[in-house]
Amino acid sequence: MADIVETAANTGNFNTLLKAAETAQIIDTLKSSGTFTLFAPTDEAFAQLPEGTLDSLLQDIPKLKKILMYHIAFGDVRSDDLEQIEEAGTLEGSVVAIDFHHGVIKVNDANVLETDILADNGVIHIIDAVLMPAMVAGK
């Protein structure tokens, strides 16, 4: 099996996420021997951001890193775990809300499109939106 970065690259729908992770210098974290859960926004999810947002983030490395670390939870959190928990702690330092209702899993306001893509050092869940931590979103 491959690590989270290689697994995401092989999936082929995370070019923007991987480019952003490289820019924010968190690739080593995602390749490390720790165990992580990546809530991975698709390229389409990044495309839904307001015009200019992504370019702006790619110029603001601390903010970009904070946002990307908000997509990474500690440990190997599988779909059956997501159905039972209400939140997950992230590497950014805050938590994401987890909601399971009528067979649909949500992370904050993002729908989980696909679960349990396994990697050597964790698991990837595909989501349809970019998550914004409260500090960055200005809430």
pLDDT tens track for 35-66: 999 999 999 999 999 999 999 999 999 999 99
Tell me the average pLDDT across 96-105: 95
Count of structural domains, the chain: 1
Q: Residue 103 is part of which domain span?
A: 4-137
Instruction: Provide the pLDDT for residue 36.
Output: 97
pLDDT confidence band for 27 (50 / 70 / 90): very high
List the beta strands (DSSP E) in the chain. 36-41, 72-74, 87-89, 95-101, 104-107, 110-119, 122-127
More confident residue, 137 or 104: 104
Which pLDDT value is given to residue 139? Answer: 42
Domain at 78, CATH number: 2.30.180.10
Res 1: pLDDT: 81
The pTM of this model reads 0.95
Whether 136 shows a pLDDT value over 80: the answer reads no
Contact between 101 and 107 under an 8 Å Cβ cutoff? The reply is no
Sheet holding 87-89, edge to edge: 72-74, 36-41, 122-127, 110-119, 104-107, 95-101, 87-89
